[in-house]
Amino acid sequence: MKNPLLLLLPLIFILCFNCVASASREISGAQTVSDTPDRILVNQVGYHPHSDKIALIRVKTAKFEVIDVNSGKVVFTGKPGPFKYWDQSGDSVCAADFSAVTIPGKYQICLKDNSVCSYVFEIGRDVYTDVAKASLKAFYLNRSGIEITKEFGGKWARPAGHPDTEVIVHASASSEKRPEGTIISSAGGWYDAGDYNKYIVNSGISTYTLLLFCQMYPEFCKNFNGNIPESNNAIPDVMDELLVNLRWMLTMQDPDDGGVYHKLTNKKFCDFVMPDKATDPRYVVLKSTAASLDFTATMAMASRVLTQSDSKELVFLGKTCLEAAQKSYAWANANPAVYFKNPTDISTGAYDDMELSDEFFWAATELGLAKNDMMLISQKEIQAQKTRVPSWDYSGMTGIISLSLSDLPKATNHKTEAQKILLDYADMLVAVSENSAYKVSLDFFKWGSNSDVVNQALIKLVAYKVSGDEKYLASVQGDVDYILGRNATGYCFVTGFGSRQVMNIHHRPSGSDGITDPYPGFLAGGPNTVVLNDCPEINRSTFPAKSYADAECSYSTNEVAINWNAPLFFVLSAMDLHSQNDKIK
């Protein structure tokens, strides 16, 4: 992932924020109008009938109208609020609240006698069903070592690549019983991002997020059909999909000492070719403290979730996971400062992290909950965690989440402390969104900014689970609206959805399969100014909320990654569930 050598890739699309192009479009039931949709920002997928519905308008107007697309009739007229400036986008917008429109259908918002209209959007109880399913299906499409068949992959069917049954132990990973050059099998799992490598640190947070969803929404999972090869077995599809990666993670543990290899990788990023054409040798590289701790936490969490299953197979696997977690935790404690750094002959993603206190806390928390041993966790450690969204390089909040949801009697005091931290953080996120011009909790832009949006929404959903306060659900709606089009770029950031679609993701299969449409269901990384020159011929905005390019070369804004899609699935599916249960607003 994030390979500087990709700077010379051909440009596919240039995004310009300094001009707005007018277009003419036929509206069913209404006359042809000249519109400029990016002057009215909406959730391009749609809204639940009883959710808050707020569009953002970028032009001065005394009123706005909501038009039923099929009949052409005005169903609601409103007055927008005052303009509000956002220093992250460098522009001002005013809010157009049309929450009063509740009848299912297809609509547009129009201004100035229909001279300016938004993209068409839908109101309905199941508006998030398809996009939620696609966000999980993206993991299937990104599986390593298997053929993607036409039955389940449609036009994105492809041959299998990277069987990973003959992986070389790199010199950095060698041990007495597994010297350099030893061949091991480490098959399965998901490709990490836009590249074909597999990384334990990023796999940990991604798999944990899906396990957390299974823990919080078991009934939804039982009824969820992801249309994957395992759909007809007795295991829920969400669980089936995460097991693909969990079982691969188990192969990355050295059975002799319990340490965990940091990554399975080529020595360098391959060209943009299909998986079966990428045949460079594969290596496991260095056992690291971070990888071993993330592995510990994920396996311990898996043991808790799997042992609650009705499946004897999964209960047995849960016991295996707990044993593996204890071994990796022992290795990490014996090797507390093995920080990962790429060996000189390896140039793929490092996922390097020099601060591991949060990983030690997360691992101890998950292992303590799995073993019902709260002596592994101290109140002081709980209080020391930063209030930040979960990410591959910060896992303190994942431990806080797990403690907040625990039902162990021994964990009562820890749970109380963790819930206070969680709810205080969620309240702060709600306050930020209420004061934001763009009605979103995000007020900073890092690499993968869209993942921060969905992870903030995840925090609020956990807060709702803990407290039952529906203000958190209402705030999540703003985050969903942002991802699905109500943002400063005007893009719906989930591939395959919306009117202004992301088409040119930094993703090797999508970029080399000869198909115009990208793999669907992926969350694009999103705007930021961390790297402004990944596409030298594209002039990106210096305002971070607008600094985005829908171009294959823009690995800093348009790559995809499993740790971004996991919270995307979590949030969209939770909102789909709450929509069906009439729990929005």
Residue positions annotated with a catalytic role: 195, 506, 550, 559
Q: What is the DSSP track for 514-538?
A: S-SSPPTTPBP----SS-S-SSTT-
Contacts of 6 by beta carbon, 8 Å cutoff, 6+ apart: 269, 506, 534, 553, 555
**Are residues 93 and 58 in contact, defined by beta-carbon separation less than 8 angstroms?**
yes
**Are residues 183 and 197 in contact, defined by beta-carbon separation less than 8 angstroms?**
no
- What length is written for the chain? 585
User: Can you tell me whether residue 67 is helix, strand or coil?
Assistant: strand
CA dist 224 and 182 (Å) reads 42
CA dist 275 and 153 (Å) reads 15
CA dist 6 and 535 (Å) reads 9
Would you state the torsion angle of the CA atoms of residues 511, 517, 518, 522, taken in this order, to the nearest 10 degrees?
Answer: 170
Q: How far is CA 472 from the centre of its chain?
A: 19
Amino acid at 34: S
The beta strand positions in 36-112, using DSSP E, are 40-41, 46-47, 54-57, 64-68, 74-78, 84-86, 91-97, 105-111
The 3-class SS string of 279-319 reads: CCCCEEEEECHHHHHHHHHHHHHHHHHHCCCCCHHHHHHHH
Phi then psi for 232, rounded to 5 degrees?
-95, 5
